[in-house]
Structure 1
Amino acid sequence: MAGSLNMVQLIGNLGKDPEIRRTQGGKPIANLSIATSESWRDKQTGERKEKTEWHRVVIFNEGLAGIAEKYLKKGSKVYVQGALQTRKWTDQSGVEKYSTEVILQGFNSTLTMLSDGNGGGNGGGNRRSDDDGGGDFGSGTRQSSGAGSRQSSFANNDMDDDIPF
């Protein structure tokens, strides 16, 4: 068993179009700015309040960065899974600065498009990275809202019979 876990999962909206830069070898690196929000009702005033957090996401995986470059834009709703990393640098005036980012690199990184940039409905694609940049890219899982047509992610819903306790 591992002694620690560094995994971040976010669902939010892009605050701006992805910023794409390229390595000297021409591989894309995508920078995303993702907003996540929570809302609540103030107990004393009854007023609805909202708090938004901004998250920096850096995609080093070539396949995922290509998807971000081609399909994502400001307003797109996305799910990302990666690792948290803090880097330190010195600015032009000699002051040390820190930046904490969600890094998508390697086999445990995921980028799923949940909507287009227009805030529209069903998602576009799902891409999970592999070490070689491969993976599956498809139309995502769509479920209709009809009562009888809901699909399960398990083929056999009778799993209780197999549980030994």
Structure 2
Amino acid sequence: MQAIICGKVGQAPVQKILRNGRTVTIFTVGTGGMFDQRIGGKDLPKPAQWHRIAVHNEPLGAYAVQQLVKNSSVYVEGDIEVRVYNDSINGEVKHVPEICIRRDGITPMSELNLTG
């Protein structure tokens, strides 16, 4: 299943080296968090929905680390996957949903030509 996300970077990208020697870049993107202007003087914020992004393409991950900072707008396309692992502290099985990018899939909104 594919996901297309437009939002703001929450946690800046960080690179991690996996046990197999490959590098993965992890960051979060928030969507939503809008105010409903129809309510009048009582603008109640809607909570943002946070998405964990895992970039498995090393050059694209390096690009994300260089170009994306907290609160920058970004467009992301990737596959929805659930990572399953055993917690090293208490041994519980954890299920973490992620949007995984293995090819092209990150575009800072500042690089898009959004004019007619």
Interval containing the TM-score (normalised by the shorter chain): 0.7 to 0.9
Structure 1 Cα separation of the partners of residues 72 and 96 of structure 2: 24
Percent identity of paired positions between Structure 1 and Structure 2: 23
**Which protein has the bigger helix share?**
2
Higher Cα radius of gyration: 1
RMSD: 2.6
Pairwise mapping of residues 8-157 of structure 1 onto structure 2 (< 5 A)? 8-22=3-17, 28-39=23-34, 41=36, 47-49=42-44, 50-91=46-87, 92-106=89-103, 109-114=104-109, 123-124=110-111, 140-141=112-113, 143=115, 150=116
Amino acid at match of 1:21: K
Q: Shift of residue 41 of structure 1? A: 3.4
Q: Shift of residue 47 of structure 1? A: 2.5
The Cα offsets for residues 16-67 of structure 1, whole Å up to 9 and x where unpaired, read as 2211124578764210111111435398886223221111000001221121
Q: Shift of residue 11 of structure 1? A: 0.6
Q: Please, which runs of 5 or more residues in structure 2 have no aligned partner?
A: none
Structure 1 Cα separation of the partners of residues 11 and 49 of structure 2: 14
Q: Please, which runs of 5 or more residues in structure 1 have no aligned partner?
A: 1-5, 115-122, 125-139, 144-149, 151-165
TM-score (norm 2): 0.81
Contact 1:28 1:66 in 2 (8 A): no
**Higher RCO (C-alpha 8 Å, min separation 6):** 2
TM-score (norm 1): 0.59
Amino acid at match of 2:16: R
The Cα offsets for residues 97-126 of structure 1, whole Å up to 9 and x where unpaired, read as 1100000013xx411101xxxxxxxx13xx
